[in-house]
Amino acid sequence: MPAHDLTAPTWERPVGLPARSGAAFVDRAAALSVDVTEPVSAAGITVDLTTYTVVVDGQVVPLPPRQVEILALFVGRPGRVWSRDELHWACWGHSASGRRIDVQLSRLRASAGRELFRTVRHRGWALDD
C-alpha cells in the first residue's frame, strides 16, 4: 500500500470560481436589497464580509462564516423582519422546512453575549435595537 505524501500540494480553487458561500451569498443578499460589499453597521454591531469579522459593542466576536453572513443581513437592513425561508435562501441558496436558522440565531445570541434579535410572532426576526 503506497504511503501518503503529506508534502503534496493541496487542492486549490481555480481562479474565478467562487468560494462555497462568499460570492453567491453576496449575490443573494443583493437580490434581497442588502448591500454587503462594504462593512455594515447598526445597533453597535459592525460586520465586514471582506474579512468575515464581526465587532459587537467594540469587541471582536469570532464567528463561523455562515453566522457572519446571517448577521450581515440583519445589520444591513436593521428594521426589516426576516423570515426563516428568506434567511435560509440567502445563506444556503434554497428554502428548507428545518430549524437550521433557529439554531444559528441561538448560537449568534450566545456568542455575542447579548440579545441581538427580536422575534416577530408568525413572521420571523428583526435586529433588536
| Torsional class of 48: left (φ above 0), alpha (ψ -120 to 50), beta (otherwise) | beta
- The pLDDT value recorded for residue 2 is 47
Indicate the number of domains in the chain: 1
CATH number, domain with residue 115: 1.10.10.10
Domain carrying residue 112: 22-127
- pTM: predicted TM-score of the whole model, two decimal places: 0.81
Would residue 71 count as lying in a domain? yes
Q: Tens digit of pLDDT for each residue in 32-88?
A: 999 999 999 999 999 999 999 999 999 999 999 999 999 999 999 999 999 999 999
CA distance 56 to 67: 13
